[in-house]
Amino acid sequence: MVGAPARGLSGSAPPKTRLILATATTGGTYYPVGVAIATLITRELEDSQGISLTAISSAGSGENLQLLQNREADLAIIQSLFGVMAHQGKGRYRDHPQAYLRSITILWDNLEHFAVRSRYVKNGDISDMENLRRKNFSIGRRGSGTEMSGRVILEALGFDPARDFKLQYLGYTPSAQALQNGRIAGMNIPAGPPAGAITQAIAAMGPDEVRVLEFTDVQLAAVNAAYPVWRRALIRPGTYPGQTQGIITISQPNLLVVHEDIPDEVVYALVKNLYSHLEYLRQVHQAAASMALDRAIDGLMLPLHPGAVRYFTEQGLAVPPSLR
């Protein structure tokens, strides 16, 4: 079983616990921050406690939960949307709640970047997807969190993605390349800013050729009527090349989750070291700047692993019964 500690002899080196963390494709935020988390944990815990962590790329949230279920991964980064669906047995997990799933902490927010060619922009908000009807649109890799969140958002706003658009199932970097080459009219890139794929596309095409669509309060309410995991978010000026004004979008928290079978003491050590070295993660990617102990469980809707409950309780956080 992946992550199971091996037995050691008395007085010998600590038993080895080798864990795998599933992230997502390159070009987004999950992979670089996931690699940083894995590097941090291995650096801090391998010699002292025998715990090492390896980050692997994947198609994102959907595949990550499958990897956890199959015990091909021990931890994963997923969207809150997937956590709610999986825990409650809704959406793609209808009538099949994923009982093995436990959360460790909220990480950073995934900001929605619906980026389209400027020629299709009239209002500047997500309603401009109307102008992409019957055009090629990259919704993310099949089975990814990108695809699922894109579908949920578009359907909540009255679109039928399969009927209204010529869907392309591309990862982040291939989406940016396809936008540059004129093979698609827009792409769905949920990520903590700056998203590499958005930076790449704007740098290559110019800031006048690409627009990230905004969301109005009415549109946010419509999206939350489906799954109440999104909140208001701002992409600050200067985040992307030539960006002189803020972009008002929406976001949902990303979660670090784990299989319930991972020992309590291992999860405790993981979360303790994560929050003891936040500055390291912040130096790796700007998205981690929003991570903080006081918001580690704020808005969390997925029960915590007992190891995480122990750590947060020690730190003075009030863990509600629903998360225990």
pLDDT band at 107 (very low <50, low <70, confident <90, very high): very high
Partners of 102 in the β-ladder: 258
**Beta bridge partner(s), residue 225:** none
What span, in angstroms and rounded, lies between the C-alpha atoms of 111 and 60? 15
- pLDDT confidence tier of residue 188, bands split at 50, 70 and 90: very high
Asked whether residue 313 carries a pLDDT value surpassing 70, the answer given is yes
| Tokens representing residue 43 in the block | 């650096």
CA 272 – CA 266 distance, rounded (Å)? 10
Tens of pLDDT, residue by residue over 63-81, are 999 999 999 999 999 999 9
> Would you list the domain boundaries of the chain?
17-108+254-323, 111-252
Residue 179 confidence (pLDDT) above 60? yes
Q: At what angle do helices 306-314 and 264-276 cross, to 10 degrees?
A: 40
Distance CA 214, CA 235 (A): 10
**CATH 3.40.190.10 corresponds to the domain 111-252:** yes
d(C-alpha 169, C-alpha 171), whole Å? 7
Summarize pLDDT for 18-61 with one digit per residue, the tens. Answer: 999 999 887 778 999 999 999 999 999 999 999 999 999 998 89
- Name the percent of the chain in helix, strand, coil, to the closest 5: 40, 20, 40
Cα(185)–Cα(187) distance, integer angstroms? 7
Structure tokens at 145: 């969190």
Read off the pLDDT of residues 3-16 as tens digits, 9 standing for 90 and up: 544 444 445 667 89
- In CATH, the architecture of 17-108+254-323 is 3-Layer(aba) Sandwich (3.40)
Residue 20: strand pairing partners? 54
- Is 90 exceeded by the pLDDT of residue 204? yes
Same CATH topology for 17-108+254-323 and 111-252: the answer is: yes
Contact status, residue 256 vs residue 75, Cβ threshold 8 Å = yes
Q: What is the pLDDT of residues 283-296, one digit of tens each?
A: 988 878 889 999 99
Query: Which element (helix H / strand E) includes 205?
Result: helix 196-205
Which helix (H) or strand (E) element contains residue 154? helix 145-156
Q: How far apart are CA 149 and CA 82, in angstroms?
A: 9
User: Are the C-beta atoms of residues 296 and 317 closer than 8 Å to each other?
Assistant: yes
pLDDT for residue 198 is more than 50: yes
The mean pLDDT value for 247-257 works out to 96
CA gap 282, 271 in Å, rounded: 16
